[in-house]
Amino acid sequence: MRETGMSINGKVLNVVPLDTIGINGLDSQTNPTALGATWFTKADNIVYTEGGKVTFRKGLKQKSLDGGAKIGSMVEHYNGTLNKIFGAISGNIYELDLTDVDNVFTNVYATGGSTSDWQFQNFNNELIAFQGGVDMLHYHGGSWDLMKNNAGYTAPSGVTTFDPSCGLGYYGRVWAGGITEEKDVLYYSDLLDAHKWSSGSGGGIDLKTVWGHDEIVAIHPYMGKLVIFGKENIVIYNFPDEPTDMALDEVIRGVGCVSRDSIQAIGNDLYFLSDTGVRSLIRTAESDKLPLKDVSATVKDEIISHVKASTNVKSAYYYAEGLYLLSFVDRNVTYVFDIQYLTQDRETPRVTKWTFAEDRHPASMLYSEDYGLLVGQHTGRVAGYEGYYDIDYSGSSVYVNNPYTGSLSTVWMSLSPELERASILKRLIMVISGGQGTDVGLRLYKDFELAPKLSPTFKLNPALSGSPHLWGASTSLYATSKYAPIHGLREHSVPLSGSAKYLRIEMDGVTKGYKASLQSLALLFKHGKTR
Q: Is residue 335 part of a domain?
A: no
Structural element, H or E, at residue 247: strand 247-253
Structural element, H or E, at residue 289: none
Which residue, 146, 89, 145, 86, is CA-closest to 117?
89
Q: Is residue 464 part of a domain?
A: yes
CB 378 within 8 A of CB 62: no
Q: Is residue 37 part of a domain?
A: yes
DSSP H helical ranges for 106-261:
208-211
Q: How far apart are the first and last CA of the chain?
A: 22
Q: Provide the b/e sequence for 446-483 (b: ≥16 CB within 10 Å).
A: beeeeeebbeeeeebebbeeeebbbeebeeeebebeeb
The total number of residues shown for the chain amounts to 531
Tens-binned pLDDT, residue by residue, of the chain (531 aa): 555 545 455 555 777 667 788 999 999 999 888 888 899 999 999 999 888 889 999 999 999 988 788 999 999 998 777 789 999 998 899 999 998 999 888 999 998 766 789 999 999 999 999 999 999 999 998 999 999 999 999 999 999 999 999 999 999 999 999 999 999 999 999 999 999 999 899 999 999 999 999 999 999 999 999 999 999 999 999 999 999 999 999 999 999 999 999 999 998 899 999 999 999 998 643 334 666 788 999 999 999 999 999 879 999 999 999 999 999 998 999 999 999 888 876 778 999 999 999 889 999 999 998 899 999 999 899 999 999 999 999 888 899 999 999 999 999 988 776 656 788 899 888 888 888 889 999 999 999 999 998 888 888 876 544 444 444 444 444 444 444 444 477 888 889 889 998 899 999 999 999 999 998 888 888 877 654
Q: Is residue 272 part of a domain?
A: no
CATH classification of the domain holding 41: 2.60.120.260
How far apart are alpha carbons 187 and 205 in whole angstroms?
Answer: 6
Q: What is the pLDDT of residue 465?
A: 44
Q: Strand 11-17 and strand 499-500: pairing?
A: unpaired
Q: Give the Cα-Cα-Cα angle 349, 278, 239 (nearest 5 degrees).
A: 100
CB atoms within 10 A of CB 19: 13
Taking phi first (over 0 means left), then psi (-120 to 50 degrees means alpha), and beta for anything else, what does residue 466 get?
left
Q: Is residue 317 part of a domain?
A: no
The string of pLDDT tens digits covering residues 165-217 is 999 999 999 999 999 999 999 999 999 999 999 989 999 999 999 999 999 99
How far apart are alpha carbons 346 and 298 in whole angstroms?
Answer: 9
Q: Is residue 30 part of a domain?
A: yes
Q: Is residue 187 part of a domain?
A: no
How far apart are alpha carbons 472 and 16 in whole angstroms?
Answer: 18
Q: How far is CA 304 from CA 120, 218, 223, 328, in A?
A: 27, 20, 29, 11
Radius of gyration, alpha carbons of the chain: 27
Question: Can you list the pairs that 182-189 forms with residues at least 24 positions away whose Cβ atoms lie under 8 Å?
Answer: 182/206, 183/215, 183/216, 184/208, 184/211, 184/213, 184/214, 184/215, 184/216, 184/230, 185/216, 186/216, 186/219, 186/228, 187/156, 187/159, 187/162, 188/243
DSSP string, 342-378: E-TTT--EEEEEE---GGGS-SEEEEETTTEEEEE-T
What is the domain count for the chain?
Answer: 1
Q: What is the pLDDT of residue 4?
A: 55
Q: Is residue 120 part of a domain?
A: no
Q: Give the Cα-Cα-Cα angle 28, 500, 477 (nearest 5 degrees).
A: 75
- Quote the domain boundaries for residue 30: 4-58+406-530
Count how many Cα atoms sit within 13 Å of the Cα of residue 183 in the half-sphere of its side chain.
13
Q: Is 171 helix (H, G, I), strand (E, B) or coil?
A: coil
